[in-house]
Amino acid sequence: MSAKLEIIKADITTLSVDAIVNAANNSLLGGGGVDGTIHRQAGPELLKECAALGGCLAGEAKITKGYRLPARFVIHTVGPIWRGGGHDEPELLAGCYRSCFALAQQHYLKSLAFPSISTGAYRYPVEKASDIALREIQLAIKQYPDLEKVVVACFNQKTLEVYQKTASSKYNVCGF
């Protein structure tokens, strides 16, 4: 896997990257988890911009400014709710990553940070989600040479360990 990938333990709202990704819901009007923290840290202007976007479908993404965040932009994506794996969850989750990278490219963004989409309130098993996330990130790094850095911001030790294990066992990464 590419040296452009960093898997770290972090609160994504502290990261100074071109864009952080929000694990939002269909309404784009805020919620709990990473979504709640992003809205709190960005300030009320973010909600105002989100309210004009008309929501977002699972697997798709929309971009806003970052307002009071260190990141210049927020890319809001809606992950699938885990319903056992037979309801297009893998395709929808992969769609989130692809949609985020497509927007990043359209806006000439060079550094992006992702949370572990869908693995909190939406209950997607972290092992399975990490496999899809790292596969899509690796593909995007190959596809978009202008991308300089992709961070996976894991919020807790367990999530970090799962992503590191998936990276080293499936993608042959030794150090981060």
Phi, psi (rounded to 5 degrees) for 5: -95, 135
- Spatial separation of the C-alpha atoms in residues 9 and 160, rounded to whole Å: 6
Binding residue for ligand AR6 (CB under 6 A) from 1, 47, 102, 121?
121
Q: Which of 11, 35, 131, 146 is catalytic?
A: 35
Quote the longest CA-to-CA distance of the chain: 44
Asked if 166 is part of the footprint of ligand AR6 (rule: CB under 6 A), the reply reads no
Which of 153, 144, 166, 168 lies closest to 37 in space, CA to CA?
153
The CA distances from residue 131 to 14, 30, 45, in Å, are 25, 27, 35
Binding segment (CB under 6 A) for ligand AR6, from list 9-17, 44-52, 103-111, 164-172: 9-17
Asked if 159 is part of the footprint of ligand AR6 (rule: CB under 6 A), the reply reads yes
Asked if 127 is part of the footprint of ligand AR6 (rule: CB under 6 A), the reply reads no
- Spatial separation of the C-alpha atoms in residues 56 and 54, rounded to whole Å: 7
Tokens 């307002």 correspond to 67
Known catalytic residue: 35? yes
- Spatial separation of the C-alpha atoms in residues 105 and 107, rounded to whole Å: 5
Binding segment (CB under 6 A) for ligand AR6, from list 19-27, 53-61, 100-108, 165-173: 19-27
Asked if 115 is part of the footprint of ligand AR6 (rule: CB under 6 A), the reply reads yes
Asked if 12 is part of the footprint of ligand AR6 (rule: CB under 6 A), the reply reads yes
Binding residue for ligand AR6 (CB under 6 A) from 7, 13, 60, 132?
13
Tokens 């092992």 correspond to 127
- Spatial separation of the C-alpha atoms in residues 168 and 161, rounded to whole Å: 10
For the window 23-42, what string marks contact with ligand AR6 as x by the rule CB under 6 A?
A: xxx-----xxxxx-x-----
Residues with a known catalytic role: 35
* Residues in touch with ligand AR6 (CB under 6 A): 11-13, 23-25, 31-35, 37, 79, 115-122, 153, 155-156, 159
